[in-house]
Structure formats: structure tokens, C-alpha cells
Structure 1
Amino acid sequence: MGNRTNGEKVFNQHEYQKKWDKENMKSINVSYKTEFVESFREALKVLGLKQSDVIRKAMQAVIDEAEKSSQE
């Protein structure tokens, strides 16, 4: 991984991050009507929220609810 200088490997942060992401991360792609997405983005601005934080919280809420349901 990375370039070599005098026969030694040089750490390449970009290559390391790319490999780590490939092994540890997944993405979710969704499509919604333009008006819905624009309204969502505007609401994020008004509330000062990040899209990724809102989606993560919603996903975690579903996971938590499923775990709660499976324990009953």
C-alpha cells in the first residue's frame, strides 16, 4: 500500500481510508420526488440539522423498535 522510498513503504492515508470504507461501510441510495427532497432540505436548513444525522437517528429508531418488538 502506498509509494516506496528507499525500499520502505510510505503510509498512504487515502488508500488506507478507501480500504477501510470498503470493508466497514455501506451506502443506501434512495429516490424521492423532487418536491419532497427540496422540502426536506429546506427543513434541515431551518432547523440547522445535517441530513446524515437525521437519517441515522431515523434508522436507529427503527432498529431499536425492532429489537424491542423481538424481545416481547
Structure 2
Amino acid sequence: MTQQNAARLFQAVKQDQALQEKLKATADPKSFIKIAQERGYDFTAEELDSEIDKLSDEDLAAIVNPGWGTRRHINPR
């Protein structure tokens, strides 16, 4: 169920510009998850990573990446 929360968050972010900007401003996964939890989306860092892996580079950039290389800001590798 929490895995679905991460997926639902990404759908909500596509429609909510304020939430999108707030998530773009965060620099680490813990802050990202905290913001999501404040909005009622409960999931772990592992579940977030799993959902991120499902996104296209373009979708990921539109949601969490303020112009840096793919996944670098929320999911450094």
C-alpha cells in the first residue's frame, strides 16, 4: 500500500504546481519524504526509489529535478 502512495504522489505532483515547486526545492530524500508525509503520502526511501526507477527521465525531471542531471538531486548514485 505504501508503494502505491509514492506512485500517487507523483501523479498529484503533475497537477499541483505548488507541491512540485516545494519538492524541487528539497535536496535530499528524507526531506522529500517528509514533505510527502505532510500531504498524506506515507512511503519509505526504498519505495520512493522503486517508483523513481519506473519514471521516464522526462517525467522525473518534471517532478523533482530543477535542471540538474537525471536523478542526481533526489536519488544520487
Instruction: Give yes or no for TM over 0.5.
Output: no
Which one has the largest radius of gyration?
1
Smaller-chain TM-score bracket: under 0.3
**Larger relative strand fraction:** 1
TM-score (norm 1): 0.25
TM-score (norm 2): 0.24
Relative contact order higher in (CA < 8 Å, ≥ 6 apart): 2
